[in-house]
Amino acid sequence: MPGMVLFGRRWAIASDDLVFPGFLELFLRVLWWIGILTLYVMYRGKLDCPGGALLSSYLTVLLVLLAVIICTVLAIVCVSMRGTICNPGPRKSMAKLLYIRLALFLPEMVWASLGASWIAHSVHCDKAVVNGIIATVIVSWIIIVSTVVTIVIVFDPLGGKMAPYSSAAPNHLDSQESSQLLNGLKTAATSVWETRIKFLCCCIGKDDHTRVAFSSMAELFSTYFSDTDLVPSDIAAGLTLLHQQQDSIRNNQEPEERISHSPGSSQEADLDAELENCHHYMQFAAAAYGWPLYIYRNPFTGLCRIGGDCCRSRTADYDLVGGDQLNCHFGSILQTTGLQYGDFVHISFHDKVYELPFLVALDHRKESVVVAVRGTMSLQGISQAARYVYRRLINDGILSQAFSLAPEYRLVIVGHSLGAGAAALLSIMLRKSHPHVRCYAYSPPRGLLSKSLYEYSKNFTVSLVLGKDVIPRLSVTTLEDLKKRILRVIAHCNKPKYKILLYGCWYELFGGDPDNFPTELDGGDQRDLTQPLLGEQSLLTHGSPAYSFSSDSPLESPSKYPPLYPPGRIIHLEEEGTSGRFSCYTAQYTAKWSHESEFNKILIGPKMLTDHMPDILMRALDSVVADRPACVSCQAHGGAHVDMV
């Protein structure tokens, strides 16, 4: 549903978004009205005191005013429950009701102010009566302030009478004016998103690198969201419907359809060995996060274990570079990896947007020089971060120093999340000088490598993905696909939004049968969709003579972005059955080799974000490796380092 237009501008709220806030206000207002009525009935005989007539008048008028407000809010709720997301026709009276509701705030504010003044200066009545009136005045102002805060939240700085990138918007302009208008809107959208990102990341420094990262992130977000006229609740409803639709399709598949094709028997044979390697090197990837992750994973004992290191000074003896709380980081790294102080060649917690922390250590158990890279905050900065680490390793002689201590060791590069992407690119850069390099990328982003580099990286890179983790499925192309699927499922849903969200909350918390909630339009309901989403008319052309199919339809046109791929061969840890909607501790996983095509679509689910967390991934790896007896023998041989050709 396009955002509502009030006072000549678009707001980030739709006419069907007022059911839940309306019910909340209705509940509070009715309770408040009953309380005031009870107060008036119980104490009206005690209002013959000085100023009592004022209090009696105040309560009487307040009761009438609240009754009018309750009736108005009830009308707003009833109207908001009508229609569907793409059929706002039954809610056309909503704007008038909101104008009436907002107008009622003026007498409410005046009356609350008068009540406060009378209580402060003119009333000398029973204390219980006075306290009751004070309570009503306080509640009045709380509701008024809450309303003002809500208005600020739903204010859209880019708001106008039409969607910013509506295809119909510039029709009356010539091409040059249209281009100037769209460029201006894009600039404004980028500026707004940059302000939002800066607000969310207010604790990060304000150097040039940070500003560049903020600008690039803002451009990405504004480009993705600008050509739709969806409000946030529409997106939430679309994600809810997609999850149910996705589960329904999966439930209706035949068992053999769910079996993915193995990359080959030779790769299947070393799955156990590579799982053991992934399990081992994940400790280094986690160590690169420093003490915050260690304390998070060990909330009761972590601080005691590294407290001594935090108070100790070893900066003169060990190569610690930049950053705060270096010794706390070092202590957590020692606890996580189980190595000794002398096993570390270099540790850097110098932390800027494109200059990220990393460590270099000698892993005697696997006979490897391990480079562990921490994540970066910017998707577009992964390559810059990889080049920064590369320059440090080569130009500062860090790798030379490491291999002078252990010339027979093999180079292994690891990282988690965006650090996995940087590690994968770094391994490609170092492949020529270190032909036996291995890379273990944990939960890497999908939109990273070209097709040729993806095939090349299979020779030395293994990626590990847990469950429905969104990051390994995240790229500009998959985001575009997700947006198309959201628009399609919203346009084809014949249920009001409040029912979608209510059922969705129940489904996410307690599960259920997704087939019990239809998402496709019945033939007889299609004619009711009289007001389609702006910019997405082709979604609603079925049976509607007002719109026709177009080759320029954003839902049918191919992506304008080149396909990008995750690094290397992929091990997927898939959850077995259902262990509770949010249970991450009792879940059981199976490991398999997977093709990159299995990650070319974002999957919706309650664990799509938690599956990306490093502690959840480590717990899943512990469980999988413990359940695979074959991996016990891998430890005795130091794991397998096989270059696939």
pLDDT digits (tens, 9 = 90+) for 459-508: 999 999 999 998 899 887 888 888 888 888 888 888 899 999 888 888 87
Q: Please give the full DSSP string across 332-373, using - where no structure is assigned.
A: HHHHHH---GGGEEEEE----SSS--EEEEEETTTTEEEEEE
How many other C-beta atoms lie within 10 A of the C-beta of residue 426?
27
Q: What is the pLDDT of residue 634?
A: 46
Q: Residue 203 pLDDT > 90, yes or no?
A: no
Q: Which residue's entry shows tokens 């008048």? A: 57
Q: Residue 422 pLDDT > 90, yes or no?
A: yes
Q: What is the pLDDT of residue 292?
A: 83
The residues carrying an active-site annotation are 417, 469
Q: What is the pLDDT of residue 538?
A: 37
Two tokens, residue 351: 């932390």
β-strand 368-373 against 438-442: which pairing, if any? unpaired
- Dump pLDDT digits (tens) for 14-28: 888 899 989 988 998
Q: What is the pLDDT of residue 239?
A: 86
Mean pLDDT over 105-113 rounds to 83
Q: What is the pLDDT of residue 371?
A: 96
Two tokens, residue 225: 């969201």
Q: What is the pLDDT of residue 618?
A: 92
- Dump pLDDT digits (tens) for 562-618: 788 999 999 999 987 654 455 445 678 889 999 999 998 999 888 888 898 899 999
CA dihedral sign, ordered 92, 98, 104, 106: negative
Do 218 and 193 touch, CB atoms closer than 8 A?
yes
Output Rg (C-alpha) for the chain, integer angstroms.
30
Across the strands, what pairs with 370? Answer: 361, 412
CA dihedral sign, ordered 146, 149, 153, 157: positive
Two tokens, residue 538: 């082709």
Q: Which residue's entry shows tokens 């809450």? A: 146
Do 444 and 566 touch, CB atoms closer than 8 A?
yes
Q: State percent of the chain over pLDDT 90.
A: 25
Rounded to an integer, what distance in angstroms lies between the CA atom of residue 453 and that of residue 429? Answer: 11
Q: What is the crossing angle of helices 127-154 and 52-80, to 10°?
A: 30
Of the spans 141-150, 292-301, 387-396, which averages the highest pLDDT?
387-396
Q: What is the pLDDT of residue 454?
A: 93
Q: What is the pLDDT of residue 466?
A: 95
Rounded to an integer, what distance in angstroms lies between the CA atom of residue 330 and that of residue 451? Answer: 39
Q: What is the pLDDT of residue 486?
A: 86
Q: What is the pLDDT of residue 164?
A: 46
| DSSP 3-state of 612 | helix
- The alpha carbon of residue 35 and the mean position of all alpha carbons in its chain are separated, in whole angstroms, by 42
Q: Which of 144-148, 365-369, 436-440 has the lowest mean pLDDT?
A: 144-148
Average predicted confidence (pLDDT) for the chain: 76
Q: What is the pLDDT of residue 563?
A: 83
Confidence of residue 429 (pLDDT cuts 50, 70, 90): very high
Q: Residue 430 pLDDT > 50, yes or no?
A: yes
Q: Which of 67-81, 175-189, 242-256, 526-540 has the lowest mean pLDDT?
A: 526-540
Rounded to an integer, what distance in angstroms lies between the CA atom of residue 329 and that of residue 564? Answer: 35
Q: What is the pLDDT of residue 47?
A: 64
Q: State percent of the chain over pLDDT 70.
A: 66
How many other C-beta atoms lie within 10 A of the C-beta of residue 214?
22
Q: Which of 297, 179, 165, 266 is nearest to 225 (CA)?
A: 165
Rounded to an integer, what distance in angstroms lies between the CA atom of residue 544 and that of residue 144? Answer: 44
Q: What is the pLDDT of residue 114?
A: 78
- Dump pLDDT digits (tens) for 220-277: 555 665 666 778 788 888 888 888 888 888 777 655 444 444 445 555 568 889 999 9
Do 633 and 625 touch, CB atoms closer than 8 A?
no
Rounded to an integer, what distance in angstroms lies between the CA atom of residue 336 and that of residue 150? Answer: 45
- The alpha carbon of residue 515 and the mean position of all alpha carbons in its chain are separated, in whole angstroms, by 27
Q: Residue 644 pLDDT > 80, yes or no?
A: no
Q: How far is CA 73 from CA 24, 90, 211, 562, in A?
A: 10, 17, 45, 50
Q: Which residues contact 206 (CB under 8 A, 6 or more apart)?
A: none
Confidence of residue 406 (pLDDT cuts 50, 70, 90): very high
The region, left, alpha or beta by phi > 0 then psi within -120 to 50, assigned to residue 552 is alpha
Rounded to an integer, what distance in angstroms lies between the CA atom of residue 223 and that of residue 227? Answer: 8
Rounded to an integer, what distance in angstroms lies between the CA atom of residue 140 and that of residue 134? Answer: 10
Rounded to an integer, what distance in angstroms lies between the CA atom of residue 621 and that of residue 147? Answer: 48
Q: Which residue's entry shows tokens 């359940």? A: 627
Confidence of residue 46 (pLDDT cuts 50, 70, 90): low
Q: What is the pLDDT of residue 4?
A: 79
Two tokens, residue 392: 């440090």
Phi, psi at residue 19, to the nearest 5°?
-65, -55
End-to-end CA distance of the chain: 53
Two tokens, residue 322: 């930049």
Rounded to an integer, what distance in angstroms lies between the CA atom of residue 35 and that of residue 131? Answer: 13
Rounded to an integer, what distance in angstroms lies between the CA atom of residue 390 and that of residue 411? Answer: 13
Residue of higher predicted confidence among 548 and 73: 73
Q: How far is CA 640 from CA 114, 556, 637, in A?
A: 80, 46, 8
Mean pLDDT over 390-418 rounds to 93
Two tokens, residue 622: 């512990």
